[in-house]
Amino acid sequence: MSLEQAFITYIKDREETINGQGDSAWHQRRRAAFADFEKLGFPAKKDEEYRYTPISRALEREFDGNELTKSNVDTQAVQGLLDRVVPSDLSANVLVYVNGAFQPSFSRIESAEEGVVITTLSQAYQNHSELIDRYFAQQTADQSDSFVALNTAVAQEGLFVYAPKNTVVETPVLVYFISDTSAGASVGSPRNLYIAEQSSKLSVIESFYTLGSGASYQNAVSEIWVDANASVYYNKLQPESEKAYHTGTTEVYQARDSRFTGVTVSLQGAMLRNNLNIALDGENCESHMYGLYMLDGKSHVDNHTAVDHRKPNSYSNELYKGIMDDYSKGVFNGKIYVRQDAQKTNAFQSNANILLTDNASINTKPQLEIWADDVKCSHGATTGQIDKEQLFYLRARGMSKDQATAILLRAFAGDVLENIELDFVRHQIEAVIDQRLNTNF
């Protein structure tokens, strides 16, 4: 059975066993999303949005649908991974999901601010249904993106974070989505909902890992609500394995005077697709988007971003950088929309790429659509190789070619890495980069 058909069968079987939830707003949205998914199906070969990322073909090749019912967890391997990536003395909320299931024995919640809620999505549905009804699936593109529709249709497990009005959540939230493939291929569909009410502040770091040598697939969706004068920092990390497949969408809604910063770092994966969509629906909003993809082997990473300026006097800044080695492939597609009412908008977008071999490639497409006449907007993309003059300058001072190349690439990536809020996260990524460059600063 194909993975697409397996999901359809799974959802129909679940529909027959639902008891008492069928009329809830939460389930009505899941049911509507399922209808959208049945209509859309996985993206076809000629789908323009997936033109350079044939993820449907890869999923049908690697997965047969039996992965939906697997729940094996190698607890020793999971603990070993967490010991490596989570400092033992770190003060943080740590939530761990393995093969789509929450793992309370590996998780801990430390935030003690009054009213803050950090729990699973299913538990939030039980205890905070009014928030689920108000925010769940209110901004996702279920009708146009089949992977988002599928995620909404199967939504059950994931993370729920709620920061009430005037609350600063001092302790960051770290969530680890781990695919354990030690007993075979793995499929997961995490669904996350992060809500920062008026004048609150929140930091969330999502990390995706694969254990074992099998193939993994994560279809993740995160909805982020940033209310008036609130601030959200969001970090998505993908160290992943060479047999990891990922389709992920992050939907952000900003009200007036709010601030959002998103940093996406992709280091490896068979085929990773990241969508980041931001709606600035109030005056004086501020959005910052940073991305780094540093690929080798046959890794394929596709970043699609869309920034929708709906109201005047807002600012958005986007910087994505890519380093492609071996036979790797990068895709960047960035759109900025400035609507007629969004006068005095400042919007900037930049994508820069370095190809280290003749076999690496990048498809980049920055786009601006502007209906307002009093704005400052710019976009641009560059693709090239290591600057030979800079390389010569460093080698003339006694450095080997590898050392000089490593310094230049670290500096190139530094513009993105310096925006990672947590030091230990930035140091871990730098360590991976150093290992990749076979050097140590």
Predicted confidence at residue 183, as pLDDT, reads 87
Q: Average pLDDT, stretch 198-217?
A: 96
Does residue 441 carry a pLDDT above 70? no
What local confidence, expressed as pLDDT, does residue 273 receive?
97
Mean pLDDT value of segment 317-338: 97
The sheet with strand 315-324 has its strands ordered as 101-102, 93-98, 173-180, 201-211, 231-238, 259-266, 286-295, 315-324, 346-355, 376-384
pLDDT tens digits, residue range 21-57?
A: 677 888 899 999 999 999 999 998 888 899 999 999 9
Beta strands in 201-328 (DSSP E): 201-211, 216-226, 231-238, 244-254, 259-266, 271-280, 286-295, 300-309, 315-324
pTM: 0.95
Residue 182 CA to residue 286 CA, distance in Å, equals 43
Q: Among 313, 309, 310, which residue's Cα sits nearest to residue 284?
A: 313
pLDDT recorded at residue 297: 95
Predicted confidence band of residue 1 (pLDDT cuts 50, 70, 90): confident
Give the C-alpha separation, 217 to 241, whole Å.
Answer: 11
pLDDT at 360: 97
Out of 46-50, 259-263, 314-318, pick the least confident: 46-50
Tell which wins on pLDDT, 433 or 206. Answer: 206
Q: Is the pLDDT assigned to residue 390 strictly greater than 90? A: yes
- The predicted model gives 177-201 an average pLDDT of 95
